[in-house]
Chains A and B, each alone.
Chain A
Amino acid sequence: MAAIKEEVQRIEKCFHCGDRIEETGYCLDDHDFCCLGCQTVYQVLQDGGMQQYYRYNQHPGKSNKEKQADFSYLDEPQIATKLVDFKDDKMTIITFYIPAIHCSSCIWLLENLYKLNPNVLQSRVDFMKKQASITFNHTLLPLKDLVYLLVNIGYDPKITLQDVVKEGNKNNLNPLVAKIAVAGFCFGNSMLFSFPDYFGMGAFEKEYASFFGYINLAFGLPVLLYCASDYFKSAYVSLKQKRLNLDVPLALGILVLFLRSAFEVITQTGAGFTDTLCSLVFFILIGKWVQQRTYYHISFERDYRSYFPVAVTVLTENGDKPVQLADIHIGDRILVRNNEIIPADAILLKGDAAIDFSFVTGESSPVSKTLGEIIYAGGRQTGEAIELEVVKPISQSYLTKLWNNENYKDYDKHFQTFVNFISKYFTVVLLAIAFFAALYWAVDGSANRAWGAFTAVLIIACPCALALSSPFTLSAALSIFDRNKFYVKNTAAIEQMATIDTLVFDKTGTISSPKATSIYFEGALTTKEKKLLNATCRNSSHPLSREIVKWLNVSSDIPVTNFKEFPGKGMTAELAGQVVKVGSANFLNIGKIKTDGSVVFVRIGDELKGYFTMEQAWRAGLSALIEDFKPRYDLHLISGDNDRRLDALKLIFPSAACLIFNQSPMEKLGRIQKFQQEGKHVCMIGDGLNDAGALRKADLGIAVSDDINNFSPGCDAILDGESFSKLSDFFAFSKDAVKVIHMSFGISLLYNIIGLSFAIQGIMSPLFAAILMPISTVTIISFTSLMTRWYAKRHKL
């Protein structure tokens, strides 16, 4: 039974991309495909002898249902030169960002491109960065054709203005790695040279003692001057600003360690603490490195430039010509095709404009415009190609202004982290203990012991474990979020997340999914009429027709004669002696009817039966999520859309929630500010450009995106739409992560107290320090990693 079920499921999946097959008809070589795009890719690969692609992974492709973009602008040498890495007479090297790279088949196929086209000389994939570096012969294979080759096999490169603008971010060598290497090298060596002293030396070996001491000191010098230099700089800056960060006691500890070691070696009174110094710097540098984790393939700092296309088609007397955006002038006539974005404020000259502004304003339904009306930049045309005349340059258009608005800027967030908070007190207490111990022994009359106790306190209480606790906890949390498709910008943002007490949601695209629509029918249909309608709509491949067929949920075998489809308008069919007309109000000559959203009218015979309305459906698990949040958070909704779904939302949100509609981007920002003035810690959860200001203003901005490679506004975290229902778990887990930091702080304090009890007596031996330091470090690292993962398991993350 199970086997049969599995068999059925297998057949239902597209051979190329693994999506469910909703309509049959695409079949080749006994393989079913979900769409023509997938089948074409299969055929291209089959013809090129690349069947291997399907052998490494099941369903290695990505869905190809989305419309293809126009790449004709790549023929413009001006644009092309900005994209390529290197070019000479014979060959060009270019690096593409290809979001579709996701499995080993992708690597194999892209690195074997030369088999498909011999003019590709070499290609190399960087899987983590999702980049492919391709060397090709541009005399035989123009750049545009190379891009089309990639598009044909389902690997559309993402080319945006920000890529064009990108400055060579290559060879960005991390000096931290070099510092860690040097510190590790010195640590290992100085430890070896300290062993003889720890194990005790015979009388005849004493002559080596000072030699080992000087060698150790030589290893300590680069650690002090090179590896630890950042800590001294940071401590200096923070002292200058009269606030104490954790780098102050760290730098103090490092300096005292070196000075005391140098003093002991030179005066030959002891072996010094160089190995402790090296291990300390080595460990805290590793902590820093762990914290600096970056996402290569996700950008949190995107701006409008990556939202706009690279080029736009300008109509000139000599025909169409792609022009890069920066060269668009007032008065240019531009052509915007279906699914393209309007790059500048322009007047509509020709064509039926139905502009989808959902990303810019939050309105969920396309706005139709009449000839001569101004269309603001940022909208996406749905329907036929339109002609426009540019009235404002890109730099001054509505969207760009919105983005460059002063109020949107200058929100450099300063997250108050636990470590920053605690380090003030820590430093003061530490210094107090050190001076007290020194004073005690000085009064007692032993200056040596006073110096010993003073330095020992500063050495032993050096907050190495404390400096490691939050990087290790939070980076473990970061990778757990990452696994659950929640991409947080940095570790400080997780701590910020734990302080949040107010959640503000956007509506369109955030709590509703642009991919899922639900359909409603106003009117009444008999079963027979349903069958007629089904027979009609079945013939159309328009997404709305498919939705209607799904909604009708009847089967019919009524033969259809004289079926006609009018793109963008509707369709007619004759069947069972009746004429069925389905389409827009204009198409059915109904006249103006006040409706919202996409509306499809139905007429059977002479009678108007009613109309279908399409709405974005709520994301899966929305009600449960809100229910989870209710007891612990204030919940609000601010939408740029109208309030037509207020009743449905009232049922989901608690009664205390503010549900505000028709808000402009600036008003959204203002609302967030108002909540903050009430002393709330606000998290904004939005998706579009209209939320950009609010996302930045809020204490924490989370952008929801169904495809993380697509454009999302600048924010602190990006949430994949799939994981939307886990949001409450994410918030709870962030609180636990902070709890782990507090606990590990307790542990490191315990170690400090043990160490201090010896240190204030002035009897700390180098061996004691050399053992205590690594032990406390290892304890903290393993404790934080284990506890964080344990909490994650409890939240089922």
Chain B
Amino acid sequence: MEIMYILIGCSVLLALVFLCAFFWANKSGQHDDTYTPSVRILFDDEIIEEEGK
């Protein structure tokens, strides 16, 4: 059952990677504006639809 120690080590390491990813995202400003992208993503679609007509 020594494999337990390795598995636990791996799982904690993986979780740490996700924590670092969160810090990086936060620092690079991904959470500064949480609303506008949700509107922005709708624009392109409508234009394409219009051109198709």
Partner of A178, one of B26, B32, B34, B36: B26
Q: How far is the CA of A107 from the CA of B37 in the complex (A)?
A: 10
A85 to B: closest C-beta gap in Å = 14
Contact: B33 with A177, CB < 8 Å?
A: no
Contact residues in A for B6 (Cβ distance below 8 Å): none
Report the nearest B residue to A219, measured CB to CB. B12
Contact: B19 with A177, CB < 8 Å?
A: no
Contact: A181 with B23, CB < 8 Å?
A: yes
Contact: A128 with B35, CB < 8 Å?
A: yes
Contact with B along A92-123 (1 / 0, CB 8 A): 00000000000010011001000000000000
Q: How far is the CA of A578 from the CA of B46 in the complex (A)?
A: 61
Report the nearest B residue to A131, measured CB to CB. B33
Contact: A126 with B36, CB < 8 Å?
A: yes
Q: How far is the CA of A128 from the CA of B33 in the complex (A)?
A: 7
Contact with A along B11-53 (1 / 0, CB 8 A): 0100110110011001101011111100110110011001000
A181-B19, A215-B8 as given contacts; A127 in contact with B26, CB under 8 Å: no
Q: How far is the CA of A467 from the CA of B16 in the complex (A)?
A: 29
Partner of A173, one of B4, B5, B15, B26: B26
Does more than half of chain B's interface fall in helix, strand or loop, or is it mixed? helix
Contact residues in B for A215 (Cβ distance below 8 Å): 8, 12
A278 beta carbon closer than 8 Å to chain B: no
Contact residues in B for A171 (Cβ distance below 8 Å): 29
Q: How far is the CA of A739 from the CA of B31 in the complex (A)?
A: 34
B19 to A: closest C-beta gap in Å = 5
Contact: B40 with A111, CB < 8 Å?
A: yes
A185 beta carbon closer than 8 Å to chain B: yes
Contact: B39 with A127, CB < 8 Å?
A: yes
A189-B12, A189-B15, A215-B8 as given contacts; A125 in contact with B23, CB under 8 Å: no
Contact: B36 with A107, CB < 8 Å?
A: yes
Contact: A127 with B36, CB < 8 Å?
A: yes
Q: How far is the CA of A55 from the CA of B29 in the complex (A)?
A: 31
A129 beta carbon closer than 8 Å to chain B: yes
Q: How far is the CA of A171 from the CA of B27 in the complex (A)?
A: 8
A52-B47, A177-B26, A181-B19 as given contacts; A126 in contact with B33, CB under 8 Å: yes
Contact residues in A for B4 (Cβ distance below 8 Å): 208
Contact: B15 with A125, CB < 8 Å?
A: no
A374 beta carbon closer than 8 Å to chain B: no
Contact residues in B for A177 (Cβ distance below 8 Å): 26, 31
A607 to B: closest C-beta gap in Å = 62
Q: How far is the CA of A125 from the CA of B36 in the complex (A)?
A: 7
Q: How far is the CA of A786 from the CA of B5 in the complex (A)?
A: 45
B47 to A: closest C-beta gap in Å = 7
Contact residues in B for A104 (Cβ distance below 8 Å): 39, 42-43
Does more than half of chain A's interface fall in helix, strand or loop, or is it mixed? helix
Q: How far is the CA of A84 from the CA of B43 in the complex (A)?
A: 28
Q: How far is the CA of A128 from the CA of B36 in the complex (A)?
A: 8
A107-B39, A127-B39, A211-B5 as given contacts; A182 in contact with B26, CB under 8 Å: no
Contact: B22 with A108, CB < 8 Å?
A: no
A174 to B: closest C-beta gap in Å = 9
Q: How far is the CA of A669 from the CA of B29 in the complex (A)?
A: 44
A309 to B: closest C-beta gap in Å = 30
Contact residues in B for A181 (Cβ distance below 8 Å): 19, 22-23, 26
Contact with B along A170-189 (1 / 0, CB 8 A): 01010001100110010011
Contact residues in B for A173 (Cβ distance below 8 Å): 26-27
Contact residues in B for A56 (Cβ distance below 8 Å): 46
Q: How far is the CA of A397 from the CA of B18 in the complex (A)?
A: 57
Report the nearest A residue to B16, measured CB to CB. A185
Q: How far is the CA of A127 from the CA of B43 in the complex (A)?
A: 15
B12 to A: closest C-beta gap in Å = 7
Q: How far is the CA of A55 from the CA of B49 in the complex (A)?
A: 13
A191 to B: closest C-beta gap in Å = 12
Q: How far is the CA of A211 from the CA of B35 in the complex (A)?
A: 45
Q: How far is the CA of A215 from the CA of B7 in the complex (A)?
A: 13
Contact residues in B for A189 (Cβ distance below 8 Å): 12, 15
Q: How far is the CA of A251 from the CA of B18 in the complex (A)?
A: 29
Q: How far is the CA of A128 from the CA of B47 in the complex (A)?
A: 24
Contact residues in A for B50 (Cβ distance below 8 Å): 52
Additional 18 contacts, C-beta under 8 A, given A111-B40, A128-B34, A182-B19: A56-B46, A107-B40, A126-B33, A126-B36, A127-B35, A127-B36, A128-B35, A128-B36, A177-B31, A178-B26, A181-B22, A185-B15, A185-B16, A188-B15, A189-B12, A193-B8, A208-B4, A215-B8
Q: Which residues of B contact A (CB under 8 A)?
A: 4-5, 8, 12, 15-16, 18-19, 22-23, 26-27, 29, 31-36, 39-40, 42-43, 46-47, 50
The contact sample of 8 A-B pairs, CB cut-off 8 A, is A107-B36, A107-B39, A108-B43, A125-B36, A126-B36, A128-B36, A178-B23, A215-B8
Return the 3 tightest CB-CB contacts between A and B, nearest first. A127-B36, A126-B33, A104-B39
Q: Which residues of A contact B (CB under 8 A)?
A: 52, 55-56, 104, 107-108, 111, 125-129, 171, 173, 177-178, 181-182, 185, 188-189, 193, 208, 211, 215
